[in-house]
Amino acid sequence: MSSYTVANLPRISREKLAEYIRSKKPGVSVIDVRDSDYIGGHIVGCQNVPVNTHDFRMPELVRTLADEDAVVFHCSLSQQRGPSSALKYLRERERMGLVKDGTGEEQKVYVLDGGFSMWQEVYGEDAELTEAYVKDLWD
């Protein structure tokens, strides 16, 4: 049985993630799990992997991101889809034998605190951090 739960998933602040993106820190991937609500903007360089594709895409995602230092999941608010996606990712890594002793120490997996909703409040109009932003959709 997995040791991972939604309650023990670490969060990353929008400020810390913005710092990583601005510095072009290698080894950090952002996974946006929003579905149709992906329109209106997204974090620069993120991958959109909608929740409804996770059943067949999660093993591929785990293999693709295996060498990353950190993976950050988020949805609109990071209350349900983001955390559950991060949990599914961690459990898939565990199932594939990529996690030692269930600790996940070799790769950090985070949930973006407040999701894209809080992100866009500060960084929505910052073209260095946010792409395809449509302010009217967020007002």
Q: Kindly state the average pLDDT of the residues 7-17.
A: 94
Query: Strand, coil or helix: what is 138?
Result: helix
* Record: fold of 6-132: Oxidized Rhodanese; domain 1 (3.40.250)
If one counts every other C-beta atom within 10 angstroms of the C-beta of residue 9, the result is: 18
Tens digit of pLDDT for each residue in 41-53?
999 999 999 999 9
Its pTM surpasses 0.85:
yes
DSSP state of 23: T
Residue recorded with tokens 């059943």: 55
In the chain, domain spans:
6-132
Buried b (16+ CB within 10 A) or exposed e, 115-126: bbbbbbeebbee
Q: Which residues are catalytic?
A: 75
Question: How far, rounded to the nearest angstrom, does the alpha carbon of residue 56 sit from its chain's CA centroid?
Answer: 18
Tens digit of pLDDT for each residue in 54-107?
999 999 999 999 999 999 999 999 999 999 999 999 999 988 888 765 554 579
